[in-house]
């Protein structure tokens, strides 16, 4: 099992971001029409205008009483290079379908990708075919991806250690504090409520990192998770979902958008390492949904995170030795269930994942 896990971590060096197809980047576009969000349909509050001369820290006076201004780096400063790479990620996550996405889904119409300076969220304006990614959302998801990558990397280091043979529990407690993972999670959570400056103690994303470096692999995991979110938004626009329907119908539209993203990514992924990587990326995106729900609570316009998780997991189709399942367990356990010690030892990957999924039902089910 350790071998598979190393293989998956190695695989992450594949350059995900190299696709010729891109969404057009739009710097400014007024809100118009219906907004379908990833985690909530509430229109996020814009703090001031999107301006090229935006001054980091100026938001302190614009309704962001809780913002920390000790750091001079905004989420925009930290993530604008990731935003540029994000343009191609829906094409790059399932490269075998890039042409299909371009010709049959997005057609010749003018889709745009727009940055936003709201709290962490992602949404689409359906009539405009405009997808919005907030810098806070990119920052929040990247921090969570960093936690995910560090967790699986350290777990594999531990399992590679010859002294660890026969150890069936991986204790990440020390890594969690040494690598500031607790601080990344805390920042990722705060961004769900409002944008705030990048804490100085935390590493800043490096979008130009070599793809076989740790930072590059982390970026690939982040871009994979982001592409599931973006394909969810593309799904809304592709199906021309509407706000002017009943609550039940709106919830159904969310399931449809999720299913569009999941099947787009997995349908032609085969059963090898490609699928493992993609599943792990989707698990990271789902973990972000759980985190969002913990902070903001559930809304009436989206299914509960646990129901969205259940639907996506049903499409994973993982084998008994799946490294994505095993790594997914480490991440979900460390993030949402670090205290409980009743996890049985000696389970295969898929058994451990089933156990964790049941645990998630207990933690997040109504």
d(CA 174, CA 353): 23
Give, in degrees to the nearest 5, the angle at Cα 301 between 295 and 307: 70
d(CA 228, CA 231): 5
Strand partners, 134: 116
CB of 295 to Zn ion, least distance (A): 18
Closest CB to Zn ion among 257 and 325? 257
Closest CB to Zn ion among 36 and 78? 36
Asked if residue 39 binds Zn ion (CB under 5 A), the reply is no
Closest C-alpha to 54, from 113, 117, 114: 117
Closest CB to Zn ion among 196 and 254? 254
Find out whether 326 and 5 touch, Cβ atoms under 8 Å: yes
Find out whether 250 and 41 touch, Cβ atoms under 8 Å: yes
Asked if residue 305 binds Zn ion (CB under 5 A), the reply is no
Q: Which stretch binds Zn ion (CB under 5 A): 180-188, 194-202, 247-255, 358-366?
A: 247-255
What mask of x and - would describe binding to Zn ion in positions 248 to 267, judged by CB under 5 A?
Answer: ------x--x----------
Closest CB to Zn ion among 113 and 257? 257
Residue 296 C-alpha from the chain's centroid: 17
Q: How far is CA 221 from CA 157, 179, 218, 240, 271, in A?
A: 18, 18, 5, 29, 19
Closest CB to Zn ion among 239 and 362? 239
CB of 260 to Zn ion, least distance (A): 10
Asked if residue 283 binds Zn ion (CB under 5 A), the reply is no
Contacts with Zn ion, residue ranges (CB under 5 A): 36, 254, 257
């Amino acid at each position: 099992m350790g071998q598979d896990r190393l293989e998956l971590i190695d695989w992450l060096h594949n350059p995900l971001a190299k696709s010729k197809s891109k969404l057009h980047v739009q710097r400014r576009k007024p809100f118009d029409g219906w907004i379908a969000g990833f985690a909530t349909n509430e229109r996020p509050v814009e703090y001031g205008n999107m301006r090229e001369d935006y001054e980091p820290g100026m938001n302190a006076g614009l309704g962001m009483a809780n913002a920390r201004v000790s750091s001079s780096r905004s989420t925009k400063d930290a993530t604008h290079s990731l935003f540029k790479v994000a343009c191609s990620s829906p094409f790059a996550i399932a490269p075998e379908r890039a042409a299909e996405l371009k010709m049959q889904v997005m057609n010749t119409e003018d889709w745009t990708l727009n940055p936003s300076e709201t709290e962490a969220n992602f949404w689409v304006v359906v009539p405009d075919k405009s997808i919005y990614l907030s810098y806070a959302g990119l920052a929040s998801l990247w921090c969570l991806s960093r936690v995910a990558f560090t967790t699986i990397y350290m777990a594999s280091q531990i399992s590679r250690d010859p002294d660890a043979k026969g150890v069936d529990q991986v204790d990440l407690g020390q890594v969690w504090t040494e690598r500031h993972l607790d601080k990344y999670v805390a920042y990722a959570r705060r961004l769900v409520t409002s944008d705030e400056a990048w804490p100085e103690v935390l590493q800043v994303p490096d979008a130009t990192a070599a793809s076989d470096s740790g930072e590059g692999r982390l970026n690939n995991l982040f871009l994979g998770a982001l592409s599931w979110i973006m394909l969810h938004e593309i799904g809304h626009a592709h199906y021309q979902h509407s706000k002017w329907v009943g609550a039940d119908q709106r919830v159904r539209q969310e399931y449809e958008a999720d299913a569009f993203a999941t099947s787009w990514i997995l349908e032609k992924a085969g059963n090898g390492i490609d699928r493992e990587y993609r599943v792990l990326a989707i698990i990271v995106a789902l973990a972000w949904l759980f985190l969002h729900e913990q902070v903001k609570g559930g809304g009436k316009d989206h299914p509960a995170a646990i129901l969205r998780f259940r639907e996506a997991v049903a499409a994973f189709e993982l084998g008994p030795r799946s490294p994505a399942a095993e790594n997914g367990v480490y991440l979900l356990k460390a993030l949402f269930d670090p205290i409980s010690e009743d996890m049985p030892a000696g389970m295969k990957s898929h058994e451990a994942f089933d156990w964790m999924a049941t645990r998630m039902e207990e933690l997040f089910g109504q």
